[in-house]
Structure 1
Amino acid sequence: MLYTGRALKRLRLMRGIKQSHVAELLGVTQATVSRWETGVLTPAEEQRAALERLFARPASAADAAIKRLVETSTARVHLICDHSHRLLAASPLRRREWRRDLLGTPMFRYASEAIRQAESTLQDLGWYHDQTSSLVVETGPNDRDDVPIVAGRVLWERIPLVDEAMGRLVTTLT
């Protein structure tokens, strides 16, 4: 499950959305949403996908501006949640590379071995304690046809989002 009950509740509260509204949007009862948040129930695959789409939307005008800048960028860039790796926004060039809509999708499953290795070093580098972190990462190829990553370098930049979560701006370096 992408969201634990606590994380789902936190996201919902940060967005100012009532359980009843989430329930209405997903076609379930308010009691079902409450049970998800307490961990009594687990959302079905279809419901998880709907939750991912719902919470992939920007939470504020500032986040919407970041999303708009990424989505209109002429660079190969995308924005993910730094914790869950969910895709929050992608530039047209990046979307063309991937050839499919991945908004709200956790992207770590597509990572190359080099990216996975770089990710494993972040804690030791203090990435999660310095809110202005940036890092150049060698990508290495992931040998996938569906969401290809070629060998190269990207810049990871950690940026705060309005809901107190952190985003990671990923820009391909030429």
Structure 2
Amino acid sequence: MTRRQTALPPGPPKPYAAKNGTGSDGMTISGAGIRRMRLLRSMKQEHLAELLGVNQATISRWERDQLALSPEQVVKLERIFASPRHAAVDAALKRLVEDSVRPLHLICDRTHRLLSASRPRQAEWRAPLGAFLGRSLFSYASAEIAVAEQSLQERGWHAGRLSSLTLDTGANGNTLLPIAAGRVTWERIMLSDGSAGRLVTTIG
């Protein structure tokens, strides 16, 4: 008699690999493809990491085909790369900030990286704008600003339930980027890539 072979149970599903990830349209997502699409959108690895909720090292490993993507991460990546770009809108916003007669600046809401600043704001600083652009300004925060920042999650700021906040601040005692005692307003503004910016205006 011929012995019947018993079929083995299927093993666990394999994770999506960056070098063999399949998107919803059946297209393969490679590490080189991720890098190419990121560069076409003038996005830094750090920025893409912010949008995906991972760190910069993860993006780097994806692009070198050294780390697997989960199906959920593939979907998020597709949405980011498929979203229409409105760079002109962001550029116009930055020009409005730069041309404002009020002391204000625009930062990334999550990382506090400086995106733009008005001339009156730049006049307060003891270094040229280029020394701060792209850098986090949080290390210059006053004690009051740091406390307010810690309260944002509880207030629903990042969830979009609160889009404007006015607070009183003391001086930060820093000579390079001084903050004087007074009142400031934070306004949360969505940027064209889906991330949030924060407009910081001194009002008194």
User: TM-score scaled by structure 1?
Assistant: 0.69
User: What's the counterpart of residue 38 of structure 2?
Assistant: 13
User: What's the counterpart of residue 116 of structure 2?
Assistant: 89
Q: Which has the higher contact order (CA 8 A, sep 6+)?
A: 1
Aligned residue type for 1:117: V
Q: Provide the C-alpha distance between the structure 2 equivalents of 1:35 and 1:125, rounded to a whole number of angstroms.
A: 30
Aligned residue type for 2:118: S
Q: Does 1:111 align with 2:136?
A: no
Q: Based on CA coordinates, which of the two structures has the bigger radius of gyration?
A: 2
Q: Helix, strand or coil: the match of 1:62?
A: helix
Q: 1:127 to 1:62 in 2, by over 3 A?
A: same
- Count, aligned residues: 137
Q: Could you say what the CA RMSD is over the residues aligned between the two structures, in angstroms?
A: 3.2
Is 2:112–2:137's contact at 8 Å kept on the other side of the alignment? yes
User: What's the counterpart of residue 69 of structure 1?
Assistant: 96
Q: Does 1:80 align with 2:103?
A: no
Q: Provide the C-alpha distance between the structure 1 equivalents of 2:174 and 2:91, rounded to a whole number of angstroms.
A: 31
Query: Which runs of 5 or more residues in structure 1 are unaligned?
Result: 1-8, 23-32, 42-58
Q: Following TM superposition, by how much is the alpha carbon of 1:36 offset from its aligned partner in structure 2, in angstroms?
A: 6.5
Provide Cα deviations, 1:100-159, integer angstroms capped at 9, x if missing partner.
221111100000000000000000100011176000011211011111001111010000
Q: Helix, strand or coil: the match of 2:181?
A: coil
Query: Which runs of 5 or more residues in structure 2 are unaligned?
Result: 1-33, 46-55, 65-85
Q: Following TM superposition, by how much is the alpha carbon of 1:16 offset from its aligned partner in structure 2, in angstroms?
A: 2.0
Q: Provide the C-alpha distance between the structure 1 equivalents of 2:88 and 2:152, rounded to a whole number of angstroms.
A: 29
Q: Following TM superposition, by how much is the alpha carbon of 1:17 offset from its aligned partner in structure 2, in angstroms?
A: 4.2
User: What's the counterpart of residue 14 of structure 2?
Assistant: none
Deviating 4+ runs (over 4 angstroms): 33-36
User: What's the counterpart of residue 159 of structure 2?
Assistant: 129
Q: Provide the C-alpha distance between the structure 2 equivalents of 1:15 and 1:153, rounded to a whole number of angstroms.
A: 40
Is 1:131–1:160's contact at 8 Å kept on the other side of the alignment? no
User: What's the counterpart of residue 187 of structure 2?
Assistant: 157
